[in-house]
Chain A
Amino acid sequence: MANTVNIKIDGIDISVEAGKTVLDAAKELNIHIPTLCYHEDLCVAGNCRVCVVEQEGAKNLVASCAMPAQEGMVIHTNTHKVRNARRHVVELLLSEHNADCTKCYKNTKCELQDLASEMVINEHMFLDLVPEKNYTVDKQSSSIIKDDSKCIRCQRCVRTCHELQHVSALGVAYKGDQMKISTFFENPMYDVVCTNCGQCVNRCPTGALIEKNYIDQVWDAIYDPDTHVIVQTAPATRIALGEDLGMESGSIVTGKMAASLRKLGFDSVLDTDFTADLTIMEEGTELLTRLKKVLVDKDESVKVPMFTSCSPGWIKFIEHMYPDYLDNLSTCKSPQQMFGALAKTYYAQKRNIDPAKIVSVSIMPCTAKKFEAARPEMRDSGFQDVDLGITTRELAVMIKQAGINFQELPDEKFDSIMGASTGAAVIFGATGGVMEAALRTAYEIVTGREVPFENLNITAVRGMEGVREATVKLENVLPAWSFLEGVELKTAVAHGLTNAHQIMEAIKKGEANYHFVEVMGCPGGCIGGGGQPIPTTPEIRRKRAEAIYREDEGMEIRKSHENPEVQQIYKDFLGEPLSDKSHWLLHTHYHKRKRV
């Protein structure tokens, strides 16, 4: 049995595991202590001081988030002294904060505003410091806006960027009254190592870090009679969108989402799942081709392990941090970009629409997708392949703006073409999903049999462990793949860039010997993406992942190569995986970026 300590909070005795904090213990008792800098995903900072409580016998108040529960401790969370102190702390934060709430993107979704409201702050106790501050707003990134006037210096973003993502694009600069959250040499976010992952946005308690929103541009396109506006929705949006519209975490809202998009006025409601399946065809074939070149042809110019390339946060990370490994990346574009390139070629031809009139919108769980869409190389259709990338959150805003009663909407289906999905495509949204989908298809291509896992569920690659490994032995392969007979296909999965860093270091040191590695930039994969509803916690991500796998199990078709529209596009348009046309539209290349 674990060691426990006994403490008393507000007169109630509780026994908690040793090492738990006073805040943890209070939570177990359902005693609410306000917090700001505290976040379940991050190490304890103890710097905002909102969570102070009174400890009997202690001279000063203690920060409950940082104070370990100790035997015999007597804590009071609701005394006059505590209330006054918290009030002062919030008043101080407000005095440094640009509290022009009606002009803030986070209005009504701000943790500081919530606290101010709870404390009924009608007039400010202290002088306004904002006019003297010369705060700056950095709007230059395609993905993230950083507004220092809203910052409360809680350093959640700094800890996120450093601990979860191993990027450290954001850090603390200066001291005292000048102290601020900044970047290397205070360069704009677009010009530093920022991967645009948006994990900081997910954790910022105020409006200091927000996604660059394209809501008005999407409305303008919808209302423009001369345009044909199509929309694609990423796998992970359908299990998270409901959270921003009053539903529980883990609600599957695929049908309602399709219905709401139609109501918003999109001309065609399509699915990124289609190109997720296409990715599996292209990437799976690429993997097998690479393995042949390495194992049979002994071609040393071909690199393994091959890394997945669906996550634009991961792509930018490797471009900055491990440029020597760019040749290990699959050349496949991400599903969003494959979709974009096909929308203005294949789709335009099939539907007989002038591609110049198509506005291609994507709904993504991701902020890095905005940057990806704007990459100059993503114009293979002859136009910008994806015109506007918006997050799950932005879609929720549009649904509210349109007055749609989301929860009451009947389920509707996606349009066709480019709207067909499979279970394999859906699980792209969770860490390990691309690997599982790829294995389901690649194994079958090589052996002619289904993957040898019960009900197609490859549980070894599922879960929330930071790095997971799985080995699949290829036996009794088809004659065309005889070189793979007996090969143990070694795979690994990492999510969150700190884990990606860990796996890259192992590969660099020669300690890891994989054939295929899936990396997702965000914790939990796209379900925990930087564009998903706020808040995010391990528990919420677990529920979203469960929903993803429920959705997979409920699908009629669960293997990418069985997607009828995928089969059709190869027949009608692309020919075969890795064909010239595929290379032209579906594959790309990467760039070394500076590491500052």
Chain B
Amino acid sequence: MDKKLKRVDLIFSEECVCKDVLTTSLKKSNDDILKDILDSGLRGRGGAGFPTGLKWKFTAQETSEEKYVVCNADEGEPGTFKDREILSRVPLKVFGGMAICAKIIGAKHGYVYLRGEYQFLKAELEKALVEFHATIKELGFDFQIHILMGSGAYICGEESALFESMEGKRGEPRNKPPYPTIAGFRNKPTVINNVETLVYAFMICRIGTEKFMELGTTDSRGSKVFSISGDTPIAGIYELELGMSLEDFVEDFGDGDTKAVQVGGASGFCVPRKKFKDTIIGFEGVPTGGSMMLFNSSRSMYNVLKNYVEFFEEESCGQCTPCRVGCQQLKIGIEAVKKGEKSVHYLDTLQKLADTMKVTAKCGLGQSVANSFSSIVDNFKEEMIY
């Protein structure tokens, strides 16, 4: 069957040897590598899309005896499972990306913060680490990577909560500023990147900026690993070029009856069928950390939404008012409307509440609850009521 979308094979490509890339990269000047990463237009693959080169540059500019590079492997967004695959198949590329970053910013220690539920990956990762440490020792580069386990809280994927957790404290997001590039782990300048971002940075060092920029669009350079699930006959992990239209995506992956796609997991946006054509997957359109959930007409979007708000109600750290109480209100609010205890107009009150959460919550968790809430309530209002 002809596919509309271009499959890419960068992340998992077998031909690349970690040691070769490191040998070349460690010889290059920091400025040259940084320029490559900046020019490539690589943006964070965790979902927020901050330019990776800038993050590295800011951290490199800080003066500090101690700096850190942290790999955020706390993959917890519902519907996302690509980091697990990357870590199990190409861990050396992840470590390689960390080493290159460490060289640029001047870090001697790196940490992989591994999702609690990925405990089963730890033994293999540690094996790969032995190989990696041997390689960089041979190359004369002073850098150690440590693996720290998360304990199962979704909020610890938020970078500052992750640092708190790494420091042995309760995983609660910090006030920003200061940002991690100035005060991250142990309040030292820190680069924190998603697993996939580190691999792309590594691959840019391997294939060069131009080759990477051949893929994607002006705002969304390169390719991305997608975790595709839901009502699709071919669920799984796919590396695709960024900037595709959702219509093409659904044509490739849908079951012929797709009524909505949740782009970016519970904290992302729900796109209904009528908007597939005009929706670009990328930073200029609807960005995603990788999760693409397809829903066909047999699904109740009320149940989908309720599932999401229940998730947030439980996974909010609970410290800030808009998120802690807002999530509870959204949940019992849609239940009350569904049961007829509250009129349909109460949905407008809840929409306004979601808008407030977006602008007042302390961190990305509370701020993004409105994404799925508003997009589902807006597009599937009748399913909320009847």
Tell me the A residues contacting B by CB distance below 8 Å.
Answer: 44-50, 52, 59-61, 63, 66-68, 81, 84-85, 88-89, 92-93, 95-96, 125-127, 129, 152-153, 155, 171-172, 174-179
What residues on B are CB-neighbors of A60 within 8 Å? 358-360, 367
Shortest CB-to-CB span from B321 to chain A, Å, is 5
Asked if A179 and B317 sit within 8 Å, CB to CB, the answer is yes
Give the distance to chain A from B333, nearest Cβ to Cβ, in Å. Answer: 7
Cβ B313 vs Cβ A66 within 8 A: no
Across the interface, do B327 and A177 meet the contact criterion of CB distance under 8 Å? yes
With contact pairs A47-B321, A177-B314 given, residues A129 and B329 touching in the complex (Cβ less than 8 Å): yes
Binds A, one of B7-15, B60-68, B78-86, B349-357: B349-357
The answer on a CB contact under 8 Å between A174 and B318 is: yes
The contact of B325 among A52, A68, A93, A155, by CB within 8 Å, is: A93
21 A-B pairs whose Cβ atoms sit less than 8 Å apart in the complex: A45-B319, A49-B322, A50-B321, A60-B360, A66-B175, A81-B359, A84-B356, A89-B322, A93-B321, A125-B349, A126-B353, A127-B332, A127-B342, A129-B325, A172-B319, A175-B153, A175-B315, A176-B318, A177-B316, A177-B324, A179-B324
Q: Assess whether B177 is interfacial by the CB under 8 Å rule.
A: yes
Q: Is the CB of A63 within 8 A of B362?
A: yes
Within the complex, which residue of A85, A127, A178 is in contact with B329, where a contact is CB–CB below 8 Å? Answer: A127
What 1/0 flags go to B120-159 for Cβ under 8 Å of A?
0000000000000000000000000000000001010000
Structural contact, A47 and B362, CB atoms closer than 8 A? yes
CB of B384 closer than 8 Å to a CB of A: no
Closest to B367 in A: A60
By a CB distance below 8 angstroms, the chain A residues around B367 are 60
Q: Determine if B316 and A89 form an interchain contact, defined as CB atoms under 8 angstroms apart.
A: no
B360, A88: Cβ atoms under 8 Å?
Answer: yes
Nearest Cβ on chain A to B64's Cβ, whole angstroms = 19
- Across the interface, do A153 and B332 meet the contact criterion of CB distance under 8 Å? no
Q: How far is the CA of A129 from the CA of B328 in the complex (A)?
A: 8
Residues of B within 8 A of A61 (CB): 359-360
- Of B175, B324, B342, the residue contacting A46 (CB under 8 A) is B175
| Chain B residues near A125 (CB-CB < 8 A) | 349
**Does the CB pair A177–B175 fall under 8 Å?**
no
Are B356 and A153 in contact (CB-based, < 8 A)?
no
Docked CA distance A49–B313 (Å): 18
B326 interfacial contact with A, CB 8 Å: yes
Closest CB of chain B to A232's CB: distance in Å?
Answer: 43
Query: Does B360 lie within 8 Å of A177, measured CB to CB?
Result: no
Q: Is the CB of A95 within 8 A of B316?
A: no
- Given known A-B contacts A63-B175, A176-B327, A177-B313, A92 and B322 have beta carbons under 8 A apart: yes
Q: Which residues of B contact A (CB under 8 A)?
A: 153, 155, 170, 172, 175, 177, 312-322, 324-329, 332-333, 336, 342, 349, 352-353, 356, 358-362, 367
In the complex the two chains form, is A47's CB within 8 Å of B319's CB? yes
Q: Is the CB of B316 within 8 A of A176?
A: yes
Distance in angstroms between the alpha carbons of A155 and B172 in the assembled complex: 12
Q: How far is the CB of A121 from chain B (nearest CB, A)?
A: 14
Shortest CB-to-CB span from A301 to chain B, Å, is 40
* Contacts A81-B359, A85-B359, A177-B324; A155 near B175 (Cβ below 8 A): no
Distance A488 CA – B342 CA, assembled complex (angstroms): 77
Q: Which 10 A-B pairs have the closest CB atoms?
A: A179-B318, A92-B325, A66-B175, A88-B356, A47-B319, A46-B175, A176-B314, A60-B359, A176-B316, A47-B320
Shortest A349–chain B CB gap in Å is 57
Find A172's partner among B170, B326, B342 (CB 8 Å cutoff): B170
- Asked if A126 meets B316 with Cβ closer than 8 Å, knowing A60-B367, A177-B328, the reply is no
13 extra interchain contacts, Cβ-Cβ under 8 A, other than A47-B321, A48-B321, A88-B322? A46-B175, A52-B360, A63-B362, A81-B359, A89-B321, A127-B332, A129-B329, A153-B319, A175-B155, A175-B317, A176-B327, A177-B318, A177-B324
Total A-B pairs, Cβ < 8 A: 117
Smallest CB separation, B382 vs chain A (Å) = 22
If the complex has contacts A95-B325, A129-B332, are A46 and B177 also in contact, measured as CB distance less than 8 A? no
Q: How far is the CA of A151 from the CA of B174 in the complex (A)?
A: 22
Q: Are A96 and B325 in contact (CB under 8 A)?
A: yes
Across the interface, which residues of A come within 8 angstroms of B170, CB to CB?
A: 171-172
Bound together, the chains give a CA A67 to CA B176 distance in angstroms of 8
Q: Which residues of B contact A66 (CB under 8 A)?
A: 175
The interface residues of chain B lying within 8 Å CB-to-CB of A171 are 170
Considering the complex, give the chain B residue whose CB is closest to the CB of A171: B170
- Across the interface, do A175 and B175 meet the contact criterion of CB distance under 8 Å? no
A96, A126, A129 — most chain B CB neighbours (10 Å): A126
State the Cβ distance, A7 to closest chain B Cβ, in Å: 14
Contact status B333-A127, CB under 8 Å = yes
- How far apart are the CA atoms of A152 and B322 in the complex, in Å? 12
Minimal beta-carbon separation of B81 from chain A (angstroms): 23
Quick one: which of A89, A152, A155, A172 contacts B360, CB cutoff 8 A? A89
Whole-angstrom distance between the Cβ of B42 and the nearest chain A Cβ: 22
Residue of B nearest to A128 (CB): B332
C-alpha gap A129/B333 in the complex (Å): 11
* Chain A residue, CB-CB nearest to B176: A66
B171's nearest neighbour on chain A, judged by CB, is A175
The interface residues of chain A lying within 8 Å CB-to-CB of B352 are 84, 88
Nearest residue in A to B366 (C-beta to C-beta)? A49
Complex: how many Å from CA A49 to CA B320? 7
Give bound CA distance, A112 to B316, whole Å.
Answer: 23
Complex Cα distance, B364 from A60, in Å, reads 11
Contact B356 A48, beta carbon cutoff 8 Å: no
Contact, CB under 8 Å: A68 / B360: no
The CA of A573 and the CA of B263, in the complex, are separated in Å by: 85
Do residues A179 and B360 form an inter-chain contact, with CB atoms below 8 A?
no
Complex: chain A residue closest to B358, CB-CB: A60
Residues of A within 8 A of B317 (CB): 175-176, 179
The docked-state distance in angstroms from the alpha carbon of A89 to that of B327 is: 12
Contact of A68 among B177, B326, B329, B333 (CB under 8 A): B177
> Are B321 and A175 touching (Cβ within 8 A)?
no
The 8 Å CB contact of A95, one of B177, B315, B322, B329, is B329
CB distance from B250 to the nearest CB of A (A): 30
Most chain B C-beta atoms within 10 Å of own C-beta, residue among A63, A88, A127: A88
- Interfacial chain B residues near A176, Cβ < 8 Å: 312-318, 324, 327
Cα of A168 to Cα of B333 in the assembled complex, Å: 36
> Does A44 lie within 8 Å of B175, measured CB to CB?
yes
Chain B residue numbers with a CB within 8 Å of A175 are: 153, 155, 314-318
Whole-angstrom CA separation of A177 from B315 in the bound complex: 9
> Which A residues touch B312, using CB under 8 A?
176
- Chain A residues lying within 8 Å of B356, measured Cβ to Cβ, are 84-85, 88-89
Contact between B362 and A46, CB atoms less than 8 A apart? yes
> With A49-B361, A60-B360 known to touch, is A155 a contact of B318 (CB < 8 Å)?
no
Provide the bound-state CA to CA distance between A375 and B6, in Å.
78
Do A85 and B332 touch (CB < 8 A)?
no
For A152, list chain B residues within 8 Å (CB): 321
The interface residues of chain A lying within 8 Å CB-to-CB of B328 are 96, 129, 177
Residues of A within 8 A of B336 (CB): 127
Residue of A nearest to B353 (CB): A88
Residues of B within 8 A of A44 (CB): 175
Q: Are A155 and B319 in contact (CB under 8 A)?
A: yes
Question: Does B333 lie within 8 Å of A49, measured CB to CB?
Answer: no
Asked whether, in the complex, the Cβ of A85 is within 8 Å of the Cβ of B360, the reply is: yes
Q: Which residue of A lies closest to B175 (CB)?
A: A66
Contact A153-B360, Cβ < 8 Å, known A63-B175, A66-B175, A176-B318: no
Residue of B nearest to A89 (CB): B321
In contact, A172 and B318 (Cβ under 8 angstroms) = yes
Whose C-beta in chain B lies nearest to the C-beta of A60?
B359
- Interchain CA distance A48-B362 in the complex, whole Å: 9
Chain B residues closer than 8 Å to A84, beta-carbon distance: 352, 356
Determine the residue in chain A with the shortest Cβ distance to B361: A49
The reply to whether A92 and B362 form a contact with Cβ atoms under 8 Å apart is no
Q: Which A-chain residue is minimally distant from B322 (CB atoms)? A: A49
Tell me, in angstroms, the Cα distance from A152 to B316 when the chains sit together: 16
Q: How far is the CB of A470 from chain B (nearest CB, A)?
A: 35
**Nearest residue, chain A, Cβ from B314:** A176
- Which residues of B lie under 8 Å from residue A172 when comparing CB positions? 170, 172, 318-319
CB B101 to nearest CB in A, in angstroms, measures 27
